[in-house]
């Protein structure tokens, strides 16, 4: 809450001290709660989000890293405004900055010093700059000898591949480095592989040439997207945060839903949905808004596991929330060759259903536990919040407008940045000073490192697939394994995405599954957008699916709850996310493909009613507690309504109406 609301709350003696939350300084990594807890955001982020585990440098070293990060952002802005360089030049300079900052900011292991970088880190950073700029400085010569690299070229390329693997290990984690290494080994040992995995094999020189001196490998589409759209949208998020949009979202959500039954949990859902429009990180969203909402939910009687699960499930949905979705959505636009605006538009109904499902589950849990909302005296007034800071929405509205009007994502992001800076000057409290602008430039560059490193490493995987033809082989193998059955193919793809999600970030997960599994799904008659959205969704859901559910575990650290139970609870709350991808594969109209406004309206209404049925089955409560038979009936009725078919809608509606009436009668009898 803002200072004005805090001062107002202090003057109200009737407010229960246990229910008050006072944020001393929203820019501090320590947030003090009047419920008796102190939360170290930096520590939690470093533990559950490798990308946030960078060194906290001091003195001259801090200045060096800060200057590099600011120069990185300036380079990206300059090329975006005045013309992006040819693909390999843009990506190689981008990679040079990434190498430098990764090796200076990220320690080699947990035992390394976290307050300063050493001589080895400096050497690796300098070597990284050299091998990346080797392409920049020898661009024409390398083009002339394309496919016929000399010995020095191969040595430089080998070092670059090694630096990418080590950088990815430091920033993203060991699993993705292992996965990429396995793909590289496969490129060498192909002649010895059995069955459809067999290929003729390639020399080290051929592999290195393909991986580093073409746009099929490290400098391929994933890094290209990271070096253009993704960086700018991450930078935009950093600027928006400096204007105080996070605190505005919390106050806005409080004013809308704080008074309702289970108000704090509903605030968590709304806040996370709003924050998802500017941030594509599940863990960052969980920790950012969860540091406020989770202790508040606990103070009102929610179990720690439920409080953490609500925040994790809602925050994970941020990556599917337009207008600024997760980084993989920008990759999707490039991979399938359609405008990003079309992907964002297609994601609207699935995102609505996802958050509606969580909101309904939260409401039913609150009713089941007899939870109350916060008193209206505690809460900011909606009219005042909008009058004071409603203008902070202008950049987001502007992005939507420019994307709809046909602007490229790069231009839309640039216009959004300009609007963010301009609108910040409307009021003194949000005004961006030079110090804030420099801090945003620095933070934006740091936040982009994880995505860029993951994309570079994913480029190795894509390079192996394109070099060996593995994608087509695995796709055909997947279809053969499923016997050509679409449902089985989807189930196998879902399992693959969830398993990959344990070790790879969403971007790398999407790159792998979209390259291998999406073509197999398309081969079975599914529209290409629906196939890619399917793999995109399950790559995201991995963040809350046990046994490795990073967003749930981050929420658990704040709530001090059991991590595994939190992950299971988050999966139950986000049940819609496991259903929706199957819906839009079997009925692409949900993605606004070949549909009409009337059909869209019918789908939304019936799907929301269906989500009430499914959520009732998950929570075991509607008007009163539901037994096993009732829960099964609600689940069947809900699923039938979520399926957009006319016959299934009629049957599902009949089942749910009967069960609603039965539950209502049961609750009335219980009161007598």
Please list, residue by residue across 367-402, b when 16 or more beta carbons sit within 10 angstroms of its beta carbon and e when fewer do. Answer: bbbebebbeeebbbeeeebbebbebbbbbbebbbeb
Q: Is the dihedral of CA 85, 88, 92, 94 positive or negative?
A: positive
Average pLDDT over residues 64-72: 96
- Stretch among 523-537, 545-559, 575-589 having the lowest mean pLDDT: 545-559
Only one residue has tokens 């704090």, namely 264
Name the burial class of residue 141, with classes exposed (0-12), middle (13-18) and buried (19+) by CB atoms within 10 angstroms of its CB: exposed
- Burial degree of 283 (CB within 10 A; 0-12, 13-18, 19+): buried
Q: How confident is the model at residue 403 (pLDDT cuts 50, 70, 90)?
A: confident
DSSP annotation of 226? I
Least confident of 11-20, 173-182, 295-304, 402-411: 11-20
pLDDT tens profile 250-283: 788 888 877 777 777 777 777 777 776 665 567 7
Collapse the DSSP code of 2 into the 3-class scheme (helix H, G, I; strand E, B; otherwise coil) and give the result.
coil
List the beta bridge partners of residue 31: 39
> Do residues 638 and 652 lie in contact, with contact meaning Cβ atoms separated by under 8 Å?
yes
Listed in sequence order, the DSSP H helices in 13-86 are 41-48, 59-82
Distance, CA of 200 to CA of 130 (rounded, Å): 33
Residue 521 has pLDDT above 50, yes or no: yes
Cα 329 from chain centroid (whole Å): 10
Terminal C-alpha separation, the chain? 43
Dist CA 608 CA 610 (whole Å): 5
DSSP 3-state of 39: strand
Q: Give the torsion through C-alpha atoms of 127, 130, 131, 137, to 10 deg.
A: 180
Q: In the chain, pLDDT over 70 holds for what percent of residues?
A: 90
The secondary element (H helix, E strand) that includes residue 38 is strand 37-40
Burial 288-318 (b: 16+ CB within 10 A, else e): bbbbbbbbbbbbbebbbbbbbbbbbbbbbbb
User: Residue with structure tokens 């967003």?
Assistant: 551
CA 269, CA 318: separation in Å to the nearest integer?
10
DSSP 8-state secondary structure symbol assigned to residue 86: P
pLDDT band at 212; cut points 50, 70, 90: very high
Q: Stretch 211-218: mean pLDDT, rounded?
A: 92
pLDDT at position 13 is 36
Average pLDDT of 504-524? 83
Region 381-387 average pLDDT: 87
Give me the pLDDT at residue 460, please.
93
Instruction: Provide mean pLDDT across the span 390-416.
Output: 87
Give burial (CB, 10 Å; 0-12/13-18/19+) of 481: middle
So what's the pLDDT on residue 546? 81
Cβ neighbours, 10 Å, residue 491: 13
> 568: which residues sit within 8 A by CB, 6+ positions away?
546
Asked if residue 21 has pLDDT above 50, the reply is: no
Counting DSSP H helices and E strands in the chain, the numbers are 32, 2
3-state SS track over 431-461: CCCHHHHHHHHHHHHHHHHHHHHHHHHHHHH
* Confidence class for position 23, pLDDT limits 50, 70, 90: very low
Closest CA to 624 of 615, 614, 616, 632: 616
The alpha carbon torsion through 196, 201, 207, 210 (nearest 10 deg) reads -60
Q: DSSP H helical segments within 49-173, as ranges?
A: 59-82, 87-105, 119-137, 139-144, 151-171
Q: Identify whether the C-beta of residue 533 lies closer than 8 Å to the C-beta of residue 581.
A: yes
Q: What is the mean pLDDT of residues 423-427?
A: 91
Among positive and negative, which fits the CA dihedral 138, 139, 144, 149?
Answer: positive
pLDDT level of residue 5 (50, 70, 90 thresholds)? very low
pLDDT score at 167: 95
What whole-number distance in Å separates Cα of residue 220 and Cα of residue 428? 44
Q: Report how far residue 54's alpha carbon sits from residue 69's, in angstroms, rounded to the nearest whole number.
A: 13
Q: How far apart are CA 197 and CA 485, in angstroms?
A: 22
Mean pLDDT over each residue of the chain, to the nearest integer: 83
Residue in 119, 77, 81, 120 with CA at minimum distance from that of residue 97:
77
Token pair 């407008």: residue: 401
Q: How many CA atoms lie within 13 A of 361 on its CB side?
A: 29
How confident is the model over 110-161, as pLDDT tens digits? 777 778 899 999 999 999 999 999 999 998 888 888 778 899 999 999 999 9
Q: Quote the crossing angle between the two packed helices 245-257 and 282-299, to the nearest 10°.
A: 40
Looking up tokens 């008193």 gives: 375
pLDDT at position 279:
58
Q: How many CA atoms lie within 13 A of 283 on its CB side?
A: 25
How far apart are alpha carbons 8 and 275 in whole angstroms?
Answer: 26
Backbone angles phi and psi of 37, in degrees to 5 = -125, 150
Integer-rounded Cα radius of gyration of the chain: 25
Closest CA to 494 of 568, 582, 572: 582
CA gap 136, 92 in Å, rounded: 6
- If you ran DSSP here, which 8-state letter would residue 194 be given? -
Tokens, residue 118: 């050493």
**How far is CA 452 from each of CA 51, 220, 253, 515, 524, rounded to the nearest angstrom?**
11, 12, 33, 19, 33
pLDDT, tens only, 69-121: 999 999 999 999 998 888 899 999 999 999 999 999 999 887 777 788 999 99
DSSP for 340-399? HHHHHHHTHHHHHHHHHHHHHHHHHHHHHHT-----GGGSPPHHHHHHHHGGGGHHHHHH
Least confident of 47-56, 380-389, 433-442, 491-500: 47-56
The position carrying tokens 């991808």 is 581
């Amino acid at each position: 809450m803002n200072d004005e609301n805090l001062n107002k709350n202090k003057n109200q003696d009737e407010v229960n001290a246990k229910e008050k939350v006072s944020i001393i300084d929203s820019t501090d990594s320590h947030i003090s709660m009047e419920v008796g807890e102190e939360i170290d955001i930096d520590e939690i982020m470093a533990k559950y989000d490798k990308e946030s585990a960078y060194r906290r440098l001091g003195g001259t070293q801090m200045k060096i890293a800060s200057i590099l990060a600011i120069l990185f952002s300036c380079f990206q802005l300059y090329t975006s405004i005045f013309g992006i360089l040819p693909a390999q030049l843009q990506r190689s300079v981008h990679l040079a900055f990434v190498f430098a900052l990764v090796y200076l900011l990220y320690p080699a292991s947990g035992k390394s010093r976290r307050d300063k970088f050493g001589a080895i880190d400096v050497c690796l950073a300098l070597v990284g700059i050299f091998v990346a700029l080797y392409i920049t400085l020898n661009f024409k010569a390398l083009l002339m000898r394309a496919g016929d690299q000399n010995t020095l070229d191969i040595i430089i390329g080998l070092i670059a591949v090694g630096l990418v693997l080590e950088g990815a290990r430091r920033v993203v984690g060991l699993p993705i480095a292992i996965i990429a290494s396995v793909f590289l080994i496969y490129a060498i040992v192909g002649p010895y592989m059995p069955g459809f995995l067999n290929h003729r094999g390639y020399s080290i020189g051929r592999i290195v040439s393909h991986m580093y001196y073409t746009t099929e490998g490290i400098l391929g589409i994933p890094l290209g997207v990271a070096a253009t759209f993704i960086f700018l949208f991450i930078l935009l998020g950093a600027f928006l945060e400096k204007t105080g949009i996070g605190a505005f979202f919390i106050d806005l959500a409080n004013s809308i839903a704080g008074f309702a039954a289970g108000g704090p949990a509903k605030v968590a859902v709304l806040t996370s949905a709003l924050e998802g429009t500017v941030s594509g990180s599940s863990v960052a969203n969980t920790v950012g808004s969860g540091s406020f909402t989770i202790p508040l939910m606990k103070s009102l009687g929610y179990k720690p596991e439920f409080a953490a699960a609500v925040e994790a499930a809602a925050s994970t949905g941020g990556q599917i929330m337009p207008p600024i979705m997760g980084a993989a959505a920008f990759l999707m636009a490039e991979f399938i060759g359609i405008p990003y605006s079309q992907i964002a538009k297609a994601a609207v109904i699935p995102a609505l259903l996802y958050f509606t499902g969580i909101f309904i589950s939260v409401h039913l849990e609150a009713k089941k536990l007899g939870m109350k909302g916060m008193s209206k005296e505690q809460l900011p007034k909606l009219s005042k919040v909008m009058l004071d800071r409603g203008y902070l929405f202008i950049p987001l509205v502007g992005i939507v407008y420019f994307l709809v009007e046909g602007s490229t994502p790069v231009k839309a992001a640039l216009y959004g940045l300009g609007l963010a800076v301009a609108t910040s000057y409307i009021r003194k409290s949000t005004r961006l000073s030079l110090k804030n602008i420099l801090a945003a430039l620095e933070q934006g560059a740091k936040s982009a490192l994880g995505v860029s490193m993951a994309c570079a490493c994913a480029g190795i995987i894509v390079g192996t697939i394109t070099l060996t033809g593995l994608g087509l082989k695995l796709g055909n193998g997947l279809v053969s394994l499923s016997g050509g059955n679409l449902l089985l193919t989807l189930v196998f793809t879902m399992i693959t995405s969830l398993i990959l999600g344990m070790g790879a970030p969403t971007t790398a997960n999407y790159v792998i599954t979209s390259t291998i599994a999406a073509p197999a799904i398309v081969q079975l008659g599914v529209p290409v957008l629906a196939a890619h959205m399917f793999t995109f969704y399950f790559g995201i859901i991995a963040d809350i699916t046990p046994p490795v559910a990073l967003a749930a575990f981050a929420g658990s650290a704040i709530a001090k709850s059991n991590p595994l139970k939190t992950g299971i609870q988050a999966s139950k709350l986000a049940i819609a996310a496991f259903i929706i991808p199957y819906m839009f594969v079997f009925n692409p109209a949900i993605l606004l493909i070949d549909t009409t406004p009337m059909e869209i309206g019918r789908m939304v209404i019936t799907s929301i009613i269906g989500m009430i049925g499914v959520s009732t089955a998950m929570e075991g409560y509607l008007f009163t507690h539901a037994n096993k038979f009732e829960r099964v009936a609600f689940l069947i009725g809900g699923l039938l309504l979520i399926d957009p078919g006319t016959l299934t809608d009629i049957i599902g509606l009949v089942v749910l109406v009967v069960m609603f009436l039965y539950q209502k009668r049961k609750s009335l009898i219980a009161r007598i």
